[in-house]
Amino acid sequence: MAKLKVNGVTDTSGNQYGFRNGQIIQVRNYMYTDIYEDTTTSERDLPGILGNGLAGIKTHSNRNHIQFEATIHAGQNADWRCTGFRVYWRVGQSGSWNALNSANFTSTVYIAGSSGHSRATSTIAKFDPVAGSSASVGDNVYFKISFEGHNDGNGLHINKNMSTNSTAQENAYSFASTMTLSELWRDS
């Protein structure tokens, strides 16, 4: 018995068959597990893959959307803080960074002591890489996240967590802050 295996069927115009609108056709997941602390109040990029601008996804069609998801573990420390997170995107490595305002999010944390507390904050947004840009099939679309603290808080403590009453820099429960990019199929 013969078997035919294909990973896509297209017509002469390049339209691919077999996918439904909204179906996820690829996923790129990025993870940051180190502990990062910063008390700066001005806007700056998150550390590692979350903020260095190298997290990207290459689209299969210029009609498809990208679903952006992020979860940041704001960590524990003996104080309160409020942090704003801003998401940026660009097409290609040399394109200019643009704000993805529908994905921006905040984290407000109050901890009277430092024992066993952590706060995860998340966002999810759908992004059309063609709207407002010159993205085309095969272009890489890159994302990064920045943060800004406030004047009187205790700063950002990504992935910092302990099971004891300590402010030691530990990730006792192996928390990970993540960014996930998914390509969503669209027929038109």
Residues shown for the chain: 188
pLDDT digit string, tens, across residues 66-111: 999 999 998 777 677 788 899 999 999 888 999 999 999 988 777 6
Statement: residue 114 has pLDDT above 60: no
Q: Name the band, by pLDDT with cuts 50, 70 and 90, for residue 113.
A: low
Q: Which helix (H) or strand (E) holds 104?
A: none
Per-residue pLDDT reduced to its tens digit, 35-59? 898 888 789 999 999 999 999 999 8
Q: Is the pLDDT of residue 60 over 90?
A: no
Among 21-25, 115-119, 159-163, whose mean pLDDT is lowest? 115-119
pTM for the whole structure: 0.84
Percentages of the chain per state (helix, strand, coil), in multiples of 5: 5, 45, 55
Residue-level pLDDT at 135? 72
Average predicted confidence (pLDDT) for the chain: 83
List all residues 6 or more positions away from 60 whose beta carbon is below 8 Å from its beta carbon.
16, 25, 26, 137, 183
Are 100 and 68 contacting, i.e. CB atoms less than 8 angstroms apart? yes
The residue with greater pLDDT, 57 or 8, is 57
Output the six-digit token pair for 36.
């990062």
pLDDT at position 176, please? 93
Write down the pLDDT at residue 120: 84
Which residue did the predictor score with more confidence, 82 or 167?
82
pLDDT at 8: 65
Task: Provide the token pair at 179.
Answer: 């960014």
